[in-house]
A and B are shown apart, each in its own frame.
Chain A
């Protein structure tokens, strides 16, 4: 099985920087994804890491350390519209021999003025 852990809630100020951490324990690791989900809407893809290091995409960056089972999502220049849940998802080899994506419980980020 997989164990994915991320904080339940975070609050940050508009214009600031926030880091959302995710730790995981799994075998057959094949990549880590970050998704954003606004209330009542579908998750939208933000970033993907499979090798150690930092991936930057505009205001969003994601980091992965495979040896530590650790990732973070960094959001810069926060905007009010960034208030959403951020889901860490791990792809790993299942017992059936196929790759499956398992989501963490999500971090609800509230951006305040």
Chain B
């Protein structure tokens, strides 16, 4: 079982839809992350929030919009996605310290049609 909860587990959306991915952790972690993982590829960093502020944006297209309402929640708003955006979207959290490991959620499997 993971202590980072992601919803939904699966999402199918059209290119004109607007949807949101949600992530929640109650471990008191101060850093939260969004990663994108394509099949047979490693996770790629998209965004990092540290103390509820966006600290890293890895040149992600504006059709992906992150939001951190509070220290326990992280959202990823999706709009006008492309089929190539289909992937596993992983949320992770860490204590925020330099040597603290990332704890991943089970991910949302996104398919864009």
Contacts and interface: CB of A to CB of B under 8 A. Distances in A.
Say whether chain A's binding surface is mostly helix, strand, loop, or mixed: strand
B56 A98 contact: yes
Given A98-B55, A98-B56, A43 B43 contact: yes
A79 interface: no
Contacts of B104: 42-44
A45 B56 contact: no
Contacts of A31: 98-99
Given A44-B104, A48-B101, A105 B41 contact: yes
Interface of B: 2, 4, 41-45, 48, 50, 55-56, 90, 98-99, 101-107
A42 B2 contact: yes
Determine the interface band of chain A, counting residues with CB < 8 A from chain B: 20 to 34
In the A-B complex, the 3 residue pairs with the closest CB atoms: A103-B42, A42-B104, A45-B101
Nearest to A88: B42
A111 B48 CA distance: 35
